[in-house]
Chain A
């Protein structure tokens, strides 16, 4: 199975500041024939199911604010929240879907400083 590791485990960011979450996979999840990275990001608020934010490492799901962006390729990826809002307090997960079983990172908790 591909192991997905996130860092940091938690971070506190001031309102309006940038939040950056890292995600690393144990092997490349770049599919060379399509040049797509098989990585998604989710946001999970307390008591709610996860919500899809980004797929193909950088494509925003419909309706997701543009302050959320994804980048990276191969084994190293980043989710950036450009200007943190109060409603962004949540746990964020990355997930590889390059091979089965799809696997998730352990999550990064984002709080307000």
Chain B
């Protein structure tokens, strides 16, 4: 069965960086694009960006341009999301979410499987 297992809770100081990982299993890793979505406490959902697990290409929400990096490691079927220059407004649960569409260069921008979430707290 499809599983996305994320790394554990992080506590960071303002100005620091955080790297969250998401290990995929139960399907062919390179045939589904992966997204990152975050949710601030008690708030709604915010899309951050997309990574192609096959070629490594990325596209980020303009809001995060310049301080976000998404990468993938095909040897471990893992995607990573690194966010730098953290502020208190970055305190949130971060989710990886698989695109519903499968196949080369197929992406739909809606999400059929989600990781369990990683809480990132930014506090001095």
Contacts and interface: CB of A to CB of B under 8 A. Distances in A.
Interface size class of B (residues with CB under 8 A): 10 to 19
A101 interface: yes
Given A49-B114, A50-B114, A52-B100, A104 B45 contact: yes
Contacts, number: 47
A106 B45 CA distance: 8
A93 B97 CA distance: 15
A8 interface: no
A100 interface: yes
Interface residues of A, number: 19
A101 B112 CA distance: 17
Interface in B62-106: 62, 95, 97, 100
B24 to A, nearest CB: 14
B109 A50 contact: no
B108 to A, nearest CB: 6
Interface of A: 40, 42, 49-52, 55, 61, 93, 95, 97, 100-107
Interface of B: 44-47, 59, 61-62, 95, 97, 100, 108-112, 114-117
27 contacts: A40-B110, A42-B45, A49-B95, A49-B115, A49-B116, A50-B45, A50-B95, A50-B111, A50-B114, A52-B100, A52-B110, A52-B111, A52-B112, A93-B44, A93-B45, A97-B108, A97-B109, A97-B110, A100-B61, A100-B109, A101-B62, A102-B47, A102-B110, A103-B47, A104-B44, A106-B44, A107-B44
